Amino acid sequence: MRGPKKQLMAEKSPHRLSVSLTADQYQHLSELARKNRVSVAWIVREAIERLLRDDMPLLHVGKE
């Protein structure tokens, strides 16, 4: 497959990411997920979405 259709499929396909957490971080995420009846993955995706949407100053080091 070539062209626009292939590009559209690539844009919609999920991408995997591997992240290492401390035991404490994972415990807190797991508890939060359990209390809210969602997955840890959902919480992580939501946190990333909010970071990107809100343009948080977390990564603005050196940007003027």
Beta-carbon-side half-sphere exposure of residue 33 (alpha carbons within 13 Å): 16
- Which DSSP letter does residue 64 get? -
Is the pTM for the entire model greater than 0.85?
Answer: no
The residue extents of the domains of the chain are 20-55
pLDDT at position 37, please?
98
Going residue by residue through the chain (64 aa), what tens digit of pLDDT does each one get? 566 666 666 667 788 899 999 999 999 999 999 999 999 999 999 998 888 888 766 666 555 5
State residue 52's pLDDT score.
83
HEC string for 8-52:
HHHHHCCCCCCCCCCHHHHHHHHHHHHHHCCCHHHHHHHHHHHHH
